[in-house]
Amino acid sequence: MSDVAAMQAAGDLVVDHRNRRVKLHLYDSGRIGEMDAVMRRLAREAEATKLIVYGKKKDVPQWLSLGYRQEGTIDGFFRGENAQMLSCFLTEERAVSAAPQVAEDILQLSLAKAGRGEAKPLPPGYSLRAATPADADELARLYRLVFATYPTPMDDPDYVRRTMSESTYYVVAEHDGRIACAASAEVTERFGSAELTDCATHPDHVGKGLLQPLFAALEEKMEEMGIYYLYTLTRAQSPGMNVTAAKHGYRYRGRLINNCTIFSGYEDMNIWVKPLRPTRE
């Protein structure tokens, strides 16, 4: 197996066809030029238009010299060490945000609500529990209803079940025996970090304040598991999750332009972090 194939097998180097991007999680700092060339080759083959590097702080100048730009930071991503989010856009179109002012207005709205008290409990009539593989079909229907497109195939019950069997922990809020809201923590155990993601609220239950209690439950579970470095990526041009993250004590750390296909097409994603232990550069 070649070095590149081994990196792909380990998940260190990912060709994401669905979102037309190539991601590099781990690399040898002495081979940055070589890895850049590999990523560009893989991007040409896959018709990808964005390269993403989870970089180390000492390497940032070299990545910048190769045409990358820093879009943000995920604090504690590598077992407490910060990941510098570096991106290279291979087309001008991919590099340009569709609605930067909307995103900035929503960010300021969210920051104004930052850290406003503890998460409220679920409203009367709702209950919270961990999801199981038996919920996969209903979860897939929920994601299909809420999102026209999504970065991962969450509308496929088999995919949902597979993520549950690997490293993703789901919680749901139920109403009258049906799932009204769902969220998950996607754990990367070798890095000791988790992304709070896959947040979806059924249209009939929007505005009920369901996500904050789910976030609180996921954070409690992560602490129990010894996962102390949490982050979430939120749609920059949609207020709901940004406000939820800010209220729940997450800190804004940058914006990933045209990062993935979600809801209706490529969208910018805000980075919010909540390390439960000290981090380091």
Containing 252, the helix (H) or strand (E) segment is strand 251-262
Higher per-residue pLDDT: 91 or 4? 91
Is residue 74's pLDDT more than 70? yes
Describe the strand order of the beta sheet including 126-130 as a list of residue ranges: 13-16, 21-24, 50-55, 81-89, 69-78, 251-262, 265-275, 229-235, 193-201, 178-188, 168-175, 126-130
Look at the block and give the residue holding tokens 């990523």. Answer: 39
- Residues with Cβ within 8 Å of residue 211, at least 6 apart in sequence: 181, 183, 199, 201, 240, 241, 244
List, in sequence order, every residue forming a beta bridge with 236; answer none if it has no partner: none
pLDDT digits (tens, 9 = 90+) for 144-200: 999 988 999 999 999 999 999 999 999 999 999 999 999 999 999 999 999 999 999
Reported as a single tens digit per residue, the pLDDT across 92-105 is 999 999 999 999 99
What percent of the chain has pLDDT above 70? 98
Q: What is the mean pLDDT of residues 85-97?
A: 98
pLDDT band for position 119 (50/70/90)?
low
- Judge whether residue 264 has pLDDT over 80: no
Predicted local confidence at residue 118, as pLDDT:
63
Per-residue pLDDT reduced to its tens digit, 208-261: 989 989 999 999 999 999 999 999 999 999 998 999 999 999 999 999 999 999
At 2 the pLDDT is: 78
pLDDT given at position 18: 94
**pLDDT given at position 172:** 98
Q: What is the mean pLDDT of residues 14-20?
A: 96
What is residue 1's predicted lDDT score, i.e. its pLDDT?
62
Residue 116 has pLDDT above 90, yes or no: no
According to the model, what pLDDT value does residue 10 have? 85
Separate counts of helices (H) and strands (E) for the chain: 9, 12
Given a contact cutoff of 8 angstroms between Cβ atoms, the answer to whether 15 and 48 are in contact is: yes
Distances (CA, A) of 20 to 7, 31, 79: 19, 24, 28
Q: What value does the mean pLDDT take over residues 27-55?
A: 97
Rounded Cα distance, 156 and 233, in Å: 21
At CA 114, angle to CA 108 and CA 120, rounded to 5?
A: 130
Amino acid at site 212: Q
If you average pLDDT over every residue of the chain, what do you get?
95
User: What are the residues whose beta carbons fall under 8 Å from the beta carbon of 268, sequence distance 6 or more?
Assistant: 97, 98, 100, 103, 235, 236, 237, 255, 256, 257, 258, 259
The angle that helices 211-225 and 239-247 make with each other, rounded to 10 degrees, is: 50
pLDDT for the residue numbered 220: 95
